[in-house]
Structure 1
Amino acid sequence: MSFNFGTFSNPSDTILTLNSPNTAFAAWDDPQDTTSNIAPVTFRVVSQNLIQTSRVFKATLTGRWKEGLLTEDGGNDLEAEGWDSEAMRIVLSAIHHRTRDIPRRVTLVMLCKITVLVEYYELHDIMYFFLDLWIHSLQDPLLKAYGKDLILWICITSIFTSTNIQRIVTNVAISHCPGEFRILDLPIPELVANHINTRREAALRQFIASLNDIKSKLLDDTTGCSFECRSIHLGALVKYMYDERLLDGVTEPPFEDRSVADTVKRMRKMPSPSKDWHMQTSTYGSCELSLSSLTEAALRSSDAIQDLELDDVDD
């Protein structure tokens, strides 16, 4: 397959060969073979357009090794590897000002493929309008669950800064990621991945610490109305922590197979011990202590950690 971006007045002088096109992208299930057996795709392009829009292409076409790119007819021969051929065609259409050949809507996967090309070839200025258009056409509704599509959004908003969307999708990852954040071989900045992992682990640490603090208060007689009141709530809390593998020494960072959202959800469903066993004369009737009231502070503290924005994290 071949595409020609030259015109009669401005003919193409460079051949860009895309080898192994359409290699597996952001593989979620970790396939063993991610190579492509598709024949190379060639693009006949205008070198000046590449030079004027991309510092990467400029360095390649005008740098000290440019002589090695020359063909027999005096043109240039460039190579690329593994990119999606349609994403490359769209990007080259923008570089050559062929706006009619650029779609007004793309899928989320295609948007991420294009965004990765923009980052690699430093084409942010020439692609700004289209990236902004595509992002706004896809952002409603944004995802509220952890999965491959959420990671694609995090990659897109990390490269093409969209602060509000980035805050939303990173907070979803912090809340719903069940283990260490996966970047799927995408160019997601280390700062972003570290932010997600750090805040997720901090929320779970804070949650467990708050439960231990409640346990200590019940043991130290600093809450509850009586020995019976404290004992039954302590027993119920320890039983919950045992069932959920939250006791000391049982679970440690990075807390695999445990998301903040699911842990909080299960905590909110934890039943509080009944008061029926108290005698009618007991002062327990006026005691409002319950596991839900004891654990509400723990839930609020984990929520606060999850809501911290990327700007709040030290570089």
Structure 2
Amino acid sequence: MDTFSWSHTELDFYTFDPQGDVLLKLFRRYEKEELNEPDSETSSITAEEEDPDTFPGSDNVSTQETPTMDIDPLNDAATASDAGQSVAFLNQPVHMRVSSRHLMLASPVFAAMLDRYKFKEGATLHAEGRVEIELPDDDPDAFAILLNVVHGHTRMVPRKVSVNTLTQIAVLVNKYHMLEVLEVFSDLWIRRLSKKGLPDSYDIYRQEVMSWLFISWVFEKPKIFKPMTRLMIQRAPHSLLEHDLEFDPPIPDTLLDVIKERRMEAIDSLLSVIDTLINKYITEEYQCAPVDSTSDPIELAYSFACDSMFLGSLIKASARIGIWPLPEKPFGGIAFDTLAGQIREMDLKSKCDGNLKGYYIKHACHGVRAHIVESVKALERGICGLDLKDFKKFGPG
């Protein structure tokens, strides 16, 4: 029998278990101008909303009353610079009544938290029969979906979610180690979302790429993880150190460090193709020898002029695309695939291009241009994504 109740004058109060002994206290963050706008994402994942007229001890307080927005000067009145103007944010309380038994069965993290001998939350629960837990960093809409699954309200669980919502759910699954309990639904969501196609551009879809990388890591989807990591290695135009996304999924540094290193190795291999050629043509050894004899001063002078023309065009073409002098790691602003295309399109010249005294040079620049193109293609083919199995020891378990 329910022997206690929580007062809930908040706009959002959800009951997942009417006899629940845990009150989770979260916040939904709004920009001021968003307060009067309907939240379509939230409406699709609504939990079982509490009826205040039947909830024990509710004193018939209606949730339809205009809510009070509590402003915490440290957390709630956050501002963000937007075109030189400040945008204020407000936090709306969202409370959820849940069962400790369900939480502990679904999550080893909650099992430890609510153990009477380990943490104060558990001690309070066992001493008083109830406990309130503040989770200010957790997304309430994603948590509502997760709690509906945990408490067996499967009809309340959406069959479709957006990539953003799935990312927020993945954050919670990873944080509270709840992969197994959600796996049936996550497989359904991922299958439906991936049918629409995965992002194929890092510049345009950077937020989606990072989200899909995190989703595939948390939910153990190697067929998504590998192409996403390959895309980042091949097309990321920076060192991945920037954190300027609207939402940065908590991707492990260990994983990002490997992606960064593979990206730098790939770019370094491209640069080595050019650097090796430049060093080869700088030496005293003649690369141009279109005739049998090299003892004739005129022929030697011609070979020197031909080598010099090619070397000059190679250096100028390299400087034009920003790789001479050779850039240093982490190669900020350089994407592997962009650089590969630029190198293939270099405008290179040699004195021997065309006919020379009865000899015909079949390949421009003594075949060096073809060598560059083939070397670049080989490097492109050699870029592979990462294997998920090498990183799952850092996962949710």
The alignment's TM-score, normalised by the length of structure 1, stands at 0.85
| Bigger proportion of residues as helix | 1
Query: Which residue number in structure 2 is paired with residue 6 of structure 1?
Result: 17
CA contact (8 A) 2:13 2:96 kept: yes
> How far apart, in 2, do the equivalents of 1:251 and 1:291 lie?
23
Root-mean-square deviation over aligned CA pairs: 3.0
Where does 1:54-133 land on structure 2 (aligned, <5 Å)?
54-64=107-117, 65-66=120-121, 69-70=124-125, 74-133=129-188
Corresponding residue of 1:196: 259
2:208 corresponds to which letter in structure 1?
Answer: D
- Out of 220, 245, 250, the position equivalent to 2:322 is 245
User: In 2, are the aligned partners of 1:144 and 1:172 still within 8 Å (CA)?
Assistant: yes
1-side partners of 2:385 and 2:210: how far apart?
19
Report the structure number with the largest CA radius of gyration. 2
Corresponding residue number in structure 1 for 2:55: none
- The counterpart of 1:235, out of the listed 312, 319, 339, is 312
- Contact 2:22–2:98 (8 Å) recurs in 1: yes
Task: Tell me, in whole angstroms, the C-alpha distance in 2 between the residues paired with 1:60 and 1:124.
Answer: 18
Following superposition, the deviation at residue 124 of structure 1 comes to 0.6
Alignment gaps of 5+ in structure 2: 1-11, 32-78, 291-302
The 8 Å contact of residues 121 and 133 in structure 2, kept in 1 or not, is answered as no
- On the 8 A contact 2:226/2:388 being kept in 1, the answer is no
Q: Give the equivalent residue in structure 1 for 2:25.
A: 17
Residue 226 of structure 2 aligns to a residue whose secondary structure is helix
CA contact (8 A) 1:109 1:152 kept: yes
Report the CA distance between 1:50 and its aligned residue. 0.6
Contact kept in structure 2, 1:93 and 1:102, CA below 8 Å: yes
| Alignment partners' CA distance in 2, 1:55 and 1:287 | 66
Give the TM-score normalised by structure 2: 0.69
- What is the letter of the counterpart of residue 359 of structure 2? T
User: What do residues 219-262 of structure 1 show as CA deviations (whole Å, max 9, x unaligned)?
Assistant: 444744442543332222111111122124x5111111111111
Contact 1:273 1:290 in 2 (8 A): no
Distance 1:119 1:135, change over 3 A: same
Residue 226 of structure 2, aligned match among 163, 167, 175: 167
CA contact (8 A) 1:203 1:301 kept: no
| Counterparts in 2 of 1:51 and 1:277: CA distance versus 1, 3 Å | closer
2:264–2:330 CA contact under 8 A, matched in 1:
yes
Deviates more, 1:93-102 or 1:236-245: 236-245
Question: Residue 291 of structure 1: CA displacement?
Answer: 4.9
Amino acid at match of 2:221: S
1:38 maps to which residue? 91
What displacement does 1:74 show? 2.8
Superimposed CA distance per residue, residues 97-127 of structure 1 (whole angstroms, 9 cap, x where no aligned partner): 1111111111001000000000111111101
Q: Verify: 1:281 aligned to 2:357, yes or no.
A: yes
Give how far 1:17 is off.
Answer: 0.9
Q: For residues 312 and 229 of structure 1, do their structure 2 counterparts lie closer, same or farther at Cα, with a shift above 3 Å needed?
A: farther
Match for residue 27 of structure 1? none
Q: Name stretches of at least 5 consecutive residues in structure 1 with no aligned partner.
A: 25-29
Question: Residue 150 and residue 124 in structure 1: after superposition, are their counterparts in 2 closer, same or farther (change >3 A)?
Answer: same
Residue of structure 2 aligned with 1:143, choices 183, 195, 199 = 199
User: What is the percent sequence identity of the aligned residues?
Assistant: 24
Contact 2:306 2:350 survives alignment (8 Å): no
Q: CA deviation at 1:77?
A: 1.4
**Structure-1 residue corresponding to 2:214:** 155
1:53-77, Cα deviation, whole Å (9 max, x unpaired): 1111111111422465449963221
Q: Structure 2 CA distance, aligned partners of 1:35 and 1:194?
A: 35
Alignment check: 8 A CA contact 2:307 2:350 kept: no
Write the deviation string for residues 128-150 of structure 1: whole angstroms up to 9, x where unpaired.
11111111111231111111110
1:2 maps to amino acid: F
Residues 58 and 311 of structure 1: is their aligned pair in 2 closer, same or farther, counting only changes over 3 Å? closer
Cα distance, 1:136–1:312 mapped onto 2, change above 3 Å: closer
